[in-house]
Amino acid sequence: MPADLIVGIDLGTTNSLIGAMDAGFPILLADAEGRRLTPSVVYFPESGEPVVGRAAEPSRTRAPERTVYSVKRLMGTRTGEVDTADLSYRTGGAAGGPARVRIGAEERSPEEISALVLKKLKADAERALGAAVSRAVVTVPAYFNDAQRQATKTAGELAGLHVERIINEPTAAALAYGLDKLGDRSKIAVYDLGGGTFDISILELNAGVFQVLSTNGNTRLGGDDIDTALAEHLARQLAAMVPEFNLNPASPALRAEARRVKIELSDATETQARIDYKNHRTLFTRLTRAEFESVVLPVVEKTRSHCLRALADAKLAPGELDAVILVGGATRMPLVRALVAEIFGREPDTSQNPDEAVALGATIQAGILSGAVRGVVLLDITPLSLGIETFGGLTNVIIPRNTTIPTKAGEMFTNAVAGQRTVRIHVVQGEREKAADNWTLGAFELDFTAGTRGSARVGVQFEIDTDGILHVLARDTKTGEEKVVEMRSAVDVSDAQVEQMIAESVDHAFEDYHARLLVETQLKSREMLPAVRHALELAGAALPIDARANIDALTAEVAAALEGEDLERLKAANAALDAGTQELATLLMEQAMDEALERRGVV
Ligand code: AMP
């Protein structure tokens, strides 16, 4: 094996896979038992080494409190941010700190647990390849934020893998489908319905370069919900047959049977569900595909609105797509395929194994990096806007949502108060106007030379690297004093909250617009009041008494309006004070002219 060997890894919520290029082809590597799918499950026995993968699966029912699954949901999140009520194991971590998993008296980070899955994949790959593996490309959902990407990278490093590149799952899938061979400006939809999550992404291929145009989805929607709906249906059917047999739809046996029936009905049009009853008797119930589909249709239908939103965000009509591809095991269901065909007005391409497409794509990307594959470059986008907090608590966006990365953008800021010596750079992510409504990625302070209000010049630059990691640079342009902060420990937003943020920004659009106007108008008032006071002092007795009284009244009205939140009243008060001080402004201007002329000895 060449020294520049790089593996591709799909680190999934339910299953993970690893691949490598072999003689110019991407291949997925199997474990010692010949299986390519490794369950992302880790069992921590009371004593001894953790058990990883398929061997840990039975512990999910035997030792649910010590068996960790779906840890991807916790990666890069803070405590309380992700709903953990449905997990069989306990979570912990300090309030507001990084989310952790609690096993007995011990706590472990999601990164450590993912690292155990990655270590197993690495060991399996090394056995299959007969060579050491130390470099990898790892995939993440397109909506993963900076903290979640960083956590994924950390997990890789903990497993002894240098993560060369983090790439988006839909981009990887498109590569696996060979969509890099499509014509220029091709538009592709990637519909990914896995066990527990649904993602829809719209990509554009432009001169051999992939860009993610938009993403949408639901982090709590997938094949598991189909199992739940079917298990409930089967429980009802069996209860009708044997009323005294009170079957819990959540029982592992019934769920497993529902899942088996579901998978069978992807090929067969009719099957039987079997449930053990007391005294070794078994109950049978017949189920047609049509019946099954009517039971699970509400679950599958939920994906429609996300697809429509992704299309709208990409500003595309379904007819403008050149390809629709399917990822995730649940897309094997004929009902899902029919719905996708209906939404997008074209048959989806089903030529790839939907469980393996992402891992194959990661492997192709690894091949591109190591030089084994040539001619394709991948670009991704920022799922949420990134900015900093400015005067009045407003968000100043520096990199808007859906910007292609890598990217760099900057802005110049100044001091709000005279004599200020430090500026706090509060980095936020989100779509809301007020910084407090967005999520904090981090904050730091920069010292600068004190001066009059507005005299400081602080340049702030945001740079997002190819892995989607944000580096923030702040520099006092006068002294050259600067700080570069990598938003590395930035554990903040969860995947579910990304969706929520976008929905909220739409829901609160009007209110946010109003809030921004109010803050801006308040800032204007706060600037005017001291300026008018200063001008009155300068004018002294030169200003007629009634004019002064009028300005005092207008000033009092601005101050009073500032106490409340009535935007219209404040705007009117500002405008009135503006108009009412014209005479004063003219007077001061004349005074200044006279003084200047006097100084020059003209008068
Ligand atoms: P993934 O997360 O991509 O591994 O997807 C796993 C999900 O796909 C689970 O809910 C499986 O039950 C489901 N699945 C796998 N194969 C099939 C199939 N042939 N028909 C329907 N669902 C399937």
The 10s digit of each residue's pLDDT in 370-380 is: 877 765 555 56
Average pLDDT over residues 411-435: 83
| CA of 327, closest atom in ligand 1 | 3
Name the closest-CA residue to atom 19, ligand 1: 263
Stretch 149-171: mean pLDDT, rounded? 94
Q: Tokens 């010049």 sit at which residue?
A: 457
pLDDT digits (tens, 9 = 90+) for 538-553: 888 888 888 889 999 9
Helix (H) or strand (E) holding 127: helix 110-129
Ligand 1: atom nearest CA of 224 is: 10
SS3 category, 520 = helix
- How many angstroms separate the CA atoms of 486 and 512, rounded? 29
The pLDDT confidence band at residue 480, using thresholds 50, 70 and 90, is confident
Instruction: Determine the distance separating the centroid of ligand 1 and the alpha carbon of 463, expressed in angstroms.
Output: 38
Q: How far is the CA of 194 from the centre of ligand 1 (A)?
A: 6
Backbone φ, ψ for residue 26 (5° rounding): -80, 130
Q: What is the DSSP letter of 314?
A: T
Annotated active-site residue 187? The verdict is no
- pLDDT of residue 273 exceeding 90, the answer is yes
Average pLDDT over residues 357-363: 96
> What residue owns the CA closest to ligand 1's atom 1?
194
Pair 146, 487: CB distance under 8 Å: yes
pLDDT band at residue 482 under the 50/70/90 scheme = confident
Residues 387-397: tens digit of each pLDDT: 999 878 899 99
Of the listed ranges 9-13, 429-433, 509-513, the one predicted with least confidence: 509-513
Residues with CB under 6 A from ligand 1: 12, 14-15, 194-195, 222-224, 259, 262-263, 266, 328-330, 332-333, 355
- Indicate which residue of 169, 227, 257, 389 is catalytic: 169
* Whether the Cβ atoms of residue 65 and residue 89 lie closer than 8 Å to each other: yes
> Helix, strand or coil for residue 280?
coil
User: CA–CA separation, 548 vs 581, rounded Å?
Assistant: 9
Q: Which percentage of the chain shows pLDDT scores above 90?
A: 53
193 CA distance to ligand 1 centroid (A)? Answer: 8
What's the confidence (pLDDT) of residue 196?
87
The DSSP annotation for 452-517 comes to STT---EEEEEEE-TTS-EEEEEEETTT--EEEEE--S--B--HHHHHHHHHHHHHTHHHHHHHHH
Q: Is 72 a catalytic residue?
A: yes
Taking only the tens place, the pLDDT of each residue in 305-332 is 999 999 999 999 999 999 999 999 999 9
Residue 35, both tokens: 């299986």
Q: Which of 355, 356, 358 to mutate to test the pocket of ligand 1 (most atoms within 8 A of CB)?
A: 355
Find tokens 């100043």 and name the residue.
396
pLDDT tens-place string over residues 459-470: 888 888 777 778
CA of 221 to the centre of ligand 1 (A): 12
Ligand 1 centre from 474 Cα, in Å?
Answer: 47
Active-site pick, 31, 72, 257, 476: 72
Nearest CA to 426 out of 478, 455, 456, 391 is that of 391
Q: Following DSSP, what letter does each residue of 426-446 receive, concatenated?
A: EEEESS-SBGGGSEEEEEEEE
For residue 491, the model assigns a pLDDT of: 32
The atom number, within ligand 1, closest to the CA of 196 reads 2
Distance CA 12, CA 70 (A): 8
Tokens of 110: 């999601």
Ligand 1 atom at minimum distance from 14 CA: 2
Report which residue type is found at 316: L
Q: Whose CA is nearest to atom 16 of ligand 1?
A: 329
Compute the distance between CA of residue 442 and CA of residue 439 in angstroms, rounded to an integer: 9
Task: Kindly name the residue from 192, 227, 492, 499 that is annotated as catalytic.
Answer: 192
Residues listed for the chain:
603
Tell me the CA–centroid distance for residue 337 and ligand 1, in Å. Answer: 13
Predicted confidence (pLDDT) at residue 131 exceeds the cutoff of 90: yes
3-state secondary structure of 495: helix
Mean pLDDT across the chain: 88
Q: What is the mean pLDDT of residues 340-357?
A: 95
Atom 22 in ligand 1: residue holding the nearest Cα? 330
User: How far is residue 167 from each of residues 173, 259, 362, 489, measured CA to CA in Å?
Assistant: 10, 31, 7, 20
CA of 25 to the centre of ligand 1 (A): 26
pLDDT of residue 374: 64
Most ligand 1 atoms within 8 A of CB, residue of 139, 287, 332, 340 to mutate:
332
Work out whether strand 323-327 and strand 51-52 pair parallel, antiparallel, or are unpaired.
Answer: unpaired
The mean pLDDT of 557-570, rounded to a whole number, is 92
> HSE (CB half, 13 Å, CA atoms) of 442?
18
169 as an active site residue: the answer is yes
Q: Which atom of ligand 1 is nearest to the CA of 265?
A: 20
Q: Which residue has the tokens 């890598």?
A: 406
53 pLDDT higher than 70: yes
Q: Which pTM was predicted?
A: 0.66
Task: State which ligand 1 atom lies nearest to the alpha carbon of 266.
Answer: 20
Q: Which residue's structure tokens are 């570069």?
A: 484
